Amino acid sequence: MSHLPHTDWVVRDPEDFRMLHDAEILGARWVIEGNYSRLLPQRLERASGFILLDVPTTVSLYRYVRRCWIRKDRQGALEGGRDSVKWAMIRHLIGTTRANRARYRRMFRDISLPKVQLASPEALDAFYRGNGLTRNGAGISG
């Protein structure tokens, strides 16, 4: 949603993205994956829960490379796009994501919604099992 479909990850105009984001969260049921920190306040106003995926940087890097090179057909992929390993994304995962981790942890403590922090692939798997969810190859079903 934050990138234009049928492109090589060209970023959408920020105002267009905000309008799409805000329209999406008006729905009765939704899940938004990703940071989009500047839009978090209006998302939290409508959310019924919050999940913080706080996995180590090495896990994020591994999953990024795997989805670019191995998992071609995946839930949440950019429509008409092609995942490829990009140095900008690697720098983002190593630098920006790591730097934001402490900020997200502080923010998590202040959120009054039902919430869960998942800090490892094993914790994520346990969460799936505990909530009757399965990974179906294209995403999560339940």
Question: For a pLDDT cut of 70, what percent of the chain falls above it?
Answer: 88
**Any bridge partners for residue 118, and if so which?**
53
31 Cβ neighbours under 8 A, 6+ residues apart:
none
For 26-121, strand residue ranges (E) read 50-53, 115-118
Query: For 13-23, what is each residue's pLDDT tens digit?
Result: 999 999 999 99
pLDDT band at 136 (very low <50, low <70, confident <90, very high): low
Q: Closest Cα to residue 3, out of 100, 87, 80, 92? A: 80
Total Cβ atoms within 10 A of residue 139: 12
Cβ atoms of residues 118 and 130 within 8 Å: no
Structure tokens at 57: 């940087």
What does pTM read for this prediction? Answer: 0.77
- DSSP-derived secondary structure for 11-49: BPPHHHHHHHHHHHTTSSS----S--GGGHHHHHHH-S-
Query: For 47-76, what is each residue's pLDDT tens digit?
Result: 999 999 888 889 989 988 988 888 766 666
**Any bridge partners for residue 17, and if so which?**
none
